[in-house]
């Protein structure tokens, strides 16, 4: 029985290289039920040319769960672009408290989209451990990151974020989107 499962996995892993994105997406989806052997091929699929394949690979890695965490963290620290962003999604979807520290570290990544995705993920996880790092990230140079951070702080709802959020909102001259999100987050905390 294990041999049949192993052969199926090998076939699915090969299909991750198919020229048809629908075939690659389908293979990525089916590999979510296959266990640790699929982790590395799915990590590579996080950089697929097709966004649907990347997203499905991320979902499948989250389904695999704990066996994928170490490889996802390694990808988050060592890869570029799409792989980092989709690794962040997968870590968030695993939702384990053990991933929080890695998502907090990612708030300092060179890539603004990784910082933004990390902030959003920490908010969705409602991680109180991330509040101090998120407050610091309110000073990020990228407006999209700052906006994601403001929303995340509202989602977490920790009152110690109220004053820093008010200060950031006052400093955001002309940034209507940030001010709107910050105001909404502050209302959640009131």
pLDDT in tens, 24-46: 999 999 999 888 889 999 999 99
Using CA atoms, how far residue 160 sits from 40, 132, 190, in Å, is 40, 9, 12
Q: How confident is the model at residue 1 (pLDDT cuts 50, 70, 90)?
A: very low
Average pLDDT, the chain: 90
Answer yes or no: pTM beyond 0.75. Answer: yes
Residue 93 has pLDDT above 90, yes or no: no
Q: Cα 40 from chain centroid?
A: 18
Compute the average pLDDT of residues 116-139. 94
Structure tokens at 53: 């394949």
Torsion of CA 177, 183, 186, 190, to 10 degrees: -160
CA 24, CA 48: separation in Å to the nearest integer? 9
CA 83, CA 74: separation in Å to the nearest integer? 11
Using CA atoms, how far residue 183 sits from 20, 117, 132, 133, in Å, is 45, 21, 19, 20
Residue 170 has pLDDT above 50, yes or no: yes
Which has more pLDDT, 8 or 83? Answer: 83
Radius of gyration of the chain (CA): 19
**Residue 123 · residue 111 · CB < 8 Å:** no
Q: Cα 126 from chain centroid?
A: 14
**Residue 97 · residue 106 · CB < 8 Å:** no
**Residue 153 · residue 163 · CB < 8 Å:** no
Compute the average pLDDT of residues 137-144. 94
CA 7, CA 120: separation in Å to the nearest integer? 38
């Amino acid at each position: 029985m294990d041999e049949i499962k192993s052969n199926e996995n090998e076939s699915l892993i090969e299909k991750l290289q198919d020229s048809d994105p629908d075939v690659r997406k389908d293979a990525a989806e089916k590999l979510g039920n296959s266990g640790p052997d699929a982790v590395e091929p799915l990590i590579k699929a996080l950089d697929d040319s097709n966004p649907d394949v990347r997203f499905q690979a991320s979902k499948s890695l989250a389904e695999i769960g704990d066996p994928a965490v170490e490889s996802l963290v390694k990808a988050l620290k060592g890869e570029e672009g799409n792989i980092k962003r989709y690794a962040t999604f997968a870590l968030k979807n695993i939702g384990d408290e053990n991933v929080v520290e890695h998502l907090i570290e990612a708030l300092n990544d060179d890539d603004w989209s990784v910082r933004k995705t990390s902030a959003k993920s920490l908010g969705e996880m409602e991680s109180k451990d991330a509040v101090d790092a998120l407050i610091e990230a309110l000073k990020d140079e990228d407006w999209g990151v700052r906006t994601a951070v403001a929303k995340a702080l509202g989602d977490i709802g920790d009152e110690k974020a109220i004053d820093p959020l008010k200060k950031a909102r006052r400093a955001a001259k002309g940034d209507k989107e940030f001010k709107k999100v910050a105001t909404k987050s502050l209302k959640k905390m009131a």
